[in-house]
Every structure is written in structure tokens, then in C-alpha cells.
Amino acid sequence: MDVLLCCFCVLLLLASATSAASERCVRQGKAAYSPSLSPVPHHGSSGACGYGAMAAEINGGFLAAGGPRQHRGGLGCGRCFQMRCRDAKLCSSGGVRVVLTDFHRSNRTDFLLAGPAFAALAKPGMAQELNRLDALSVEYKRIPCEYKEKNLSIRVEEASDKTRGNLVVKLLYQGGQTDILAVDVAPVGSSAEWRFMTRVYGPVWSTPRAPAGPLQFRAVVTGGYDGKWVWADQEVLPADWRPGQVYDTGVRIADVARDGCRGCAATAAGAAMDDWK
Ligand SMILES: *[C@@H]1O[C@H](CO)[C@@H](O)[C@H](O)[C@H]1NC(C)=O
Ligand SMILES: *[C@@H]1O[C@H](CO)[C@@H](O)[C@H](O)[C@H]1NC(C)=O
């Protein structure tokens, strides 16, 4: 029953994900500087991503807050973007690579860039000039996330309670250019007992019916028209898992969306992408 239900969910999820296909196109937008991004998730709203202080470790502090269109109610959390501003006098041509870790509601910008990310848009010596501008015109595209030293990891959140079977996890270091649309958990050695988890917000998933450990995980990832299971076929959480601990899944997600960028390759922005390394 669970299996059938789950397959149905996956189909629904995939159907809803296809509408996001064009995100891999180069887009025009605005970026502005923010002295800091809020590390705290806003529970009960579509909220920020909840990476907390860990955000700074995720991408060397190159972080961005996205507006509704980038944050997408949390689905956009952990996505990676490359962006550059177009002013040849002030801006470097390579631009900057950022990870989306937060949400903002500002009307005048698509992205708020924190820490070193905004300065990195500038040519050497031009960061001060750039800081004076209100909201920069930028072009940006979604790119695969690359974590050279990290596998996909699972942080057990403080809201977890083993005696009640409550398990809340946060997914960290999600590589590639795909989204995680479903997460299941099962006891190691018993794949008949997969239980689905529900997205709480952004990268945080939970189940009130966690099996006793040790536990294995699998996830559906998709980017465009197809999805696939990624299965950490080994013990991920030990029987004595603890809130606050981070556990390595031993897998890496490196998939790049297959649907590519049809429809935008022919535009001027598509052409500009070729010289953008
Ligand atoms: C955003 O724009 C709307 C109307 O365009 C305006 O009413 C609202 O105050 C703006 N919000 C902010 C935070 O500037
Ligand atoms: C990633 O997982 C593999 C096993 O699949 C393991 O050998 C490797 O040490 C892990 N890498 C890191 C950085 O933990």
C-alpha cells in the first residue's frame, strides 16, 4: 500500500517539477548586498532554509537569499547559481557562484548576496564602487552544486525524539543540479519497510514513524522530465543516532538536469552563456 501510494506521489512530484525546467536558462535579474542573511528558519511560513550557522561552511560563505521565484517555497534551498553583473568597468566576467540558503521578500531584487559573494562580483579593486550601487543588474543561471570534500549528509535535527519514533533530518551538501522530491527511511537490511518522510521546509524532512535503527535512506531526485532513486545502500544512521550529529550517506548526487535549456539557447542570453566559465 505504502509502495503504491509512494509511486503515485512520485509521479505527482515529477509532474510538478517539470514546470521548473526553464530555470537552467540564463536569466536577467537584480542582486543587492546584504550584510548578513538570517540563519534561523521561519517555521510555519515558506521560510528560510534552516542551515543555521552551517550555511557558512556550505560554500565558503558565498551565500544568497532568493526571492519567491528562486526560493520556491523551500524547494530552491541548496540550489547553486552562477551570476555576474554586466558593467564591464566594475564587474568580473566570471562572476560568482552562490548557494541559496535564505529567503527574502524585497521587491527590488531577486537575490541578496551576503558575505564575500557580493564583493566577488567586482573586478579587483572595484568592490567599494559596487557596494554603493543599490541593486545591480545581473544575469544568472542555475549550475550544478559541487562539494569536493563532502558526500550528501544527513543532520539529525533537535526536534527528533527516538522514544517517540520522531525523526527530523536536514539534508546537507546536495550536489548536482537536481532537486530532492522524496525521502524514504528504512531499517538496514529490511527494504520492505520503507517509510516516506515529509518535507517540513527546504532541506528538512521528517517522519513521526521512524523505525528503530540502524537506518538507511533513499531519495528521489529530479531535474526536469525524469527522476531517479538515489539509494544510500548502507547504514547511514547508527542505532544510537543523536540529535545534532551529522551522518555521511556515502553517496554523492552529481546529476545534471537532462532537459537542458531548450528554447533559450537561441537567445542572446543563451549565447552569452558560452563564454561564461
Ligand atoms: C512591494 O511592492 C508592492 C506593490 O508593488 C508594495 O505595495 C509593497 O509595499 C512592496 N514591498 C516592499 C517590501 O517594498
Ligand atoms: C564518501 O562516501 C564514500 C563511500 O561511498 C567514502 O569512501 C568516502 O570516504 C566519503 N567521502 C567523504 C569525504 O566522507
Residue 126 gets which letter from DSSP?
Answer: -
Q: Is the CB of 107 under 6 A from ligand 1?
A: yes
* pLDDT above 50: residue 3: no
Which DSSP category does 84 fall into? E
Global confidence as pTM: 0.82
Backbone angles phi, psi at 205, to 5 degrees: -125, 150
Condensed to tens digits (0 to 9), the pLDDT of residues 109-127 reads 999 998 688 889 999 988 8
- 200-215 as b/e: b if 16+ CB within 10 A: bbbbbbbbeebbebbb
Can you list the alpha helix ranges (DSSP code H) found in the chain? 2-17, 55-58, 68-71, 116-119, 127-132, 268-274
| 263's grid cell | 528554447
If residue 225 lies in a helix (H) or strand (E), which one and from where to where?
none
Q: How many CA atoms lie within 13 A of 101 on its CB side?
A: 31
pLDDT bin (cut points 50, 70, 90) of residue 56 is: confident
- With a 6 Å cutoff on the Cβ, whether 151 touches ligand 2 is yes
Q: Cα separation of 136 and 100, whole Å? A: 18
pLDDT exceeds 50 at position 204? yes
State the average pLDDT over residues 127-131. 86
The residue count of the chain comes to 277
Burial class (CB in 10 A: 0-12, 13-18, 19+), 35: exposed
**Atom from ligand 1 closest to the CA of residue 105:** 13
* Among protein residues, the one whose CA lies closest to atom 3 of ligand 2: 250
pLDDT greater than 80 at residue 191: no
Average pLDDT over residues 91-98: 92
Q: What per-residue confidence (pLDDT) applies to 145?
A: 92
- Residue 70's closest CA among 202, 200, 262, 208? 202
**Residue 117 burial by CB count (10 A; 0-12/13-18/19+): exposed, middle or buried?**
buried
Q: Write the Ramachandran bin of 180: left for phi over 0, alpha for psi from -120 to 50, otherwise beta.
A: beta
Name which of 66, 49, 67 is nearest 199 in CA terms: 49
Strand partners, 60: none
**What is the average pLDDT value for the chain, to the nearest integer?**
81
CA 107 – ligand 1 centroid, Å? 6
pLDDT in tens, 205-258: 999 999 998 999 999 998 666 788 888 888 999 999 999 999 999 999 888 876
Q: What is the pLDDT of residues 142-172, one digit of tens each?
A: 999 998 889 999 999 999 999 999 999 999 9
Q: Are 257 and 24 in contact (CB under 8 A)?
A: yes
Q: Tell me the per-residue pLDDT of 18-44, one tens digit each, with 9 for 90 and over.
A: 444 456 688 999 999 887 765 444 443
Taking CA atoms only, the protein residue closest to ligand 1 atom 3 is 107
Probe residue for ligand 2, chosen from 150, 173, 248 as the CB with the greatest number of ligand atoms within 8 Å: 248
- Percent of the residues in the chain that have a pLDDT greater than 90, as a whole number: 44
Residues 257, 178 contacting (CB under 8 angstroms):
yes
pLDDT surpasses 80 at 101: yes
